[in-house]
Structure 1
Amino acid sequence: MATTSIASNTELSRVVAVSIRPSSNKPLVTHQSIGRYSFSRFSNGFPLLSVRATSNSSMSKENSSKSCDGAGGRLTYKDAGVDIDAGSELIRRIAKMAPGIGGFGGLFPLGTDGVGTKLKLAFETGIHETIGIDLVAMSVNDIVTSGAKPLFFLDYYATSRLNVDLAEKVIKGIVGGCQQSDCTLLGGETAEMPDFYAEGEYDLSGFAVGIVKKDSVIDGKNIVAGDVLIGLPSSGVHSNGFSLVRRVLAQSGLSLNDQLPGGSVSLGEALMAPTVIYVKQVLDLISKGCVKGIAHITGGGFTDNIPRVFPKGLGASIYKESWEVPTLFKWIQEAGRIEDAEMSRTFNMGIGMVLVVTEEASHKILEEGQHKAYRIGEVVCGEGVRYC
């Protein structure tokens, strides 16, 4: 996800020790006004958290291969204002201060994120009902990569002037996202800050906490060459790469109301499709055994996210023709004249989650057909991601 050239795609996962009572699968939330500008929302179903651990954050890396060289040049994410390498440098510096950073989660994994400049398209299209699903998805999808079940979620909604009807639409999406992931909406914060945000606009962030048994943590340590990569399809762009998408829209001169080539929906509707929440299907696949590693394909695409789950010395071979790349990505690439490598490092290209499993498990998953999935590649010797 891209918010600024430094904060883009920042996905923080902190290992926290928490004291909680068992959660209900039904989201619980109350809304209270406190003061003029700040409204705190908390369910009474949980006591306050007691945090007693060091920070453990991980940042997805986004990058560009080369700059645009004028009207005939090819667009990159960096041209759109998002520098993946700057994020990578920041996380290297943080790692020196807090050793142990690098994974997606821990025993009590906490995932925190926002939805980046996808919010700009929400303002332009007027589609606000699903942006809350994106917000929940970005955190719970990170948490489940460690094999953890999300327990609860909190949100932060900030605006210059509170529009109750608009805020209700957004929070309704958050409730829906929590229902999809079987976690409780514990509460949140609504901040009204006059003159800080543009009229009619708002910002969102949130975090979720999950739980996993110590002996059930999925950490990728047992991955070996020959293991299979199973891809779960995305619903579209999800919540990453929208700074580049918006640059492509501006360059192409097309409107969000224009029809997606070869499709029956507008570009705006296709781009605003909510992020898939993979929690239930991933936990189901984990319960069948033989899942060794999981990568949430966010900013950085296959190129940066898949290698994060591998032991040193291993890489991935991706079968380029093993799944159908959605028309939306083909349009983005053609309209923006974007290189293949840039597309693969910016977008999910139709695969939002990748599981590393044994050969035997891959056959079982694909033959059962309970979840739509593709065999998209294999683990190989030698680091990095190659396409064949």
Structure 2
Amino acid sequence: MEKKSVTYKDAGVDIDAGNRFVDMIKPMVKATSRPEVLTDIGGFGGLFSFHADKYKKPTLVSSTDGVGTKLKLAFMMDKHDTVGIDLVAMCVNDIIVQGAEPLFFLDYMATGKLAPEKAAEVVKGISEGCQQAGCALIGGETAEMPGFYSEGEYDVAGFTVGAVDNDNIIDGSAITVGDKIIGIASSGLHSNGYSLARKVFFDHMGLNVNDTLPEFGQSIGLEMLTPTRIYVKTALNLIRDFTIKGMAHITGGGLLENVPRVLPKHCHAVIHRDSWEKPVIFDVLQKGGNIEDTEMHRTFNYGLGMVLIVPNEQCEDILIRLSGLNEKAWEIGEITKNVDEPPSVLLD
């Protein structure tokens, strides 16, 4: 008896579904295009004509990141249209702190069995994030890996490249005693601390993603899926007109570990812990898990997604500009002298 011929689809990989997915996302990708983009998706590589003549000494800046266990909330809620925004945000926010304008973005998505509609929802978020950041989505990869991921689950990674004139790189070296620290509001948890947040809500408090707390006005799941803020256009606006000496993207490690990354050896950052408004989710988490204040500051962004270090004499004008850009922002501290210790954040 002749054995049945085995196909790739029998093994769990559906090439036709992959092709259908590519067709579905083409309009989303096109919506992010910039004049420098030379190709549509589908080629072996994305072509981007870098206009180096815009810079005296062009420097490329790159970053890669993922979304982490926030994806668990997307799986639990079966809601996939916002995690792509998070993916872009985690990458582009990391390069804007050095003054680099994001130019293009690529994504990688891996799953056990490709569901084209679900995957397209993820790319919809990536497209939205790229438009918010002003960068082009020029390519990506979708890997169907049977047996490697749990049913219905996937992972995503993102990669961005930006450019800055070498003379305009923001590296913190100009920071000095007396400079002011400005914090720009986050939209909530952003994309870090989710392992602790899930433990508090679902284990300690015994809640589930569909429960609604009066503090939120929506389900816990939707509150936790609030997308990460993208600060690129705001930062570029400020960099154009003001002296920004240092910037820190507040992600894993919170204020305590991210701000010192941009401080010179002779400086400490004194941050006044009651100088800004914290989104209610942080108060609910702290009470629900009986979390110590220091643990909150080193795990979560605690209401500040981006920190700027600026000259004292420009601080007020920068805050006025931020208000005009519809950003919530506060003067949260200042730079003080440090003699022998490593740069650090001092909370008072």
Q: 2:154 aligns with which of 202, 205, 208?
A: 202
Inter-partner Cα distance in structure 2 for 1:24 and 1:353: 26
Other structure's SS at 1:203 match:
strand
The equivalences for 1:1-388 within 5 A come to 24=34, 30=40, 32=42, 42-43=45-46, 45-46=47-48, 107-249=59-201, 250-368=203-321, 369-371=323-325, 372=327, 373-382=329-338, 383-388=343-348
> Size of the alignment, in residue pairs?
301
Q: Which residue does the alignment assign to 2:11?
A: none
Q: TM-score, normalised by structure 1?
A: 0.74
Instruction: Report if the CA contact (8 A) 2:38-2:48 is conserved.
Output: no
The 8 Å contact of residues 242 and 318 in structure 2, kept in 1 or not, is answered as no
Shift of 1:47: 7.6
Distance 1:346 1:163, change over 3 A: same
How far apart are residue 381 of structure 1 and its match?
Answer: 1.5
- Aligned to 2:79, the other structure's residue is in SS state coil
- What SS is found at the alignment partner of 1:291? coil
Residues 165-190 of structure 1 deviation map (CA, whole Å, 9 limit, x = unaligned) = 00000001101111100001010000
Q: How far apart are the structure 2 equivalents of 1:275 and 1:25? A: 27
What is the alpha-carbon distance in structure 2 between the residues aligned to residue 386 and residue 214 of structure 1?
A: 32
- Cα 1:149–1:158, aligned 2, differ >3 Å: closer, same or farther? same
Cα separation, partners in 2 of 1:114 and 1:326, compared to 1, 3 Å: same
CA drift at 1:46 = 3.0
CA distance in 1, matches of 2:37, 2:115: 23
Q: Which runs of 5+ in 2 are unaligned?
A: 1-32, 51-57
RMSD: 2.0
Deviation sequence 1:117-158 (CA, Å, 0-9, x none): 000111001221010000000000001000000000000000
Distance 1:299 1:25, change over 3 A: farther
- The alpha-carbon deviation at position 25 of structure 1 amounts to 6.2
- Structure 1 segments (4+ residues) deviating >4 Å: 25-32, 40-43
Tell whether the 8 Å contact from 1:27 to 1:175 is kept in structure 2 after alignment: no
Q: Check the 8 A contact 1:153/1:208 in 2, yes or no.
A: yes
How far apart are the structure 1 equivalents of 2:96 and 2:184? 14
Give aligned-pair identity as a percent.
51
How big is the shift at 1:317? 0.8
Q: Offset at 1:314?
A: 0.9
CA contact (8 A) 2:212 2:218 kept: yes
- Give 1:41 shift: 7.4
The answer as to whether partners of 1:28 and 1:186 remain within 8 angstroms in 2 is: no
Q: Secondary structure at the match of 1:204?
A: strand
Q: Is the 8 A contact 1:29 1:41 kept in 2?
A: no
Alpha carbons of structure 1 residues 41 and 139: separation in structure 2 relative to 1, 3 Å: farther
Q: Which has the higher helix share?
A: 2
Give the CA deviation at 1:262: 2.1
Q: CA deviation at 1:324?
A: 1.0
C-alpha separation between the residues in 1 aligned to 2:177 and 2:214? 40
Deviation (angstroms), 1:261: 3.8
Letter in 2 for 1:287: R
**Aligned-partner Cα distance in 2 for 1:231–1:28:** 38
Would the aligned equivalents of 1:333 and 1:343 in 2 still touch at CA under 8 Å? yes
Question: What one-letter code is carried by the residue in structure 2 that aligns with 1:361?
Answer: Q
Larger radius of gyration: 2
- Alpha-carbon distance in 2 for matches of 1:28, 1:338: 51
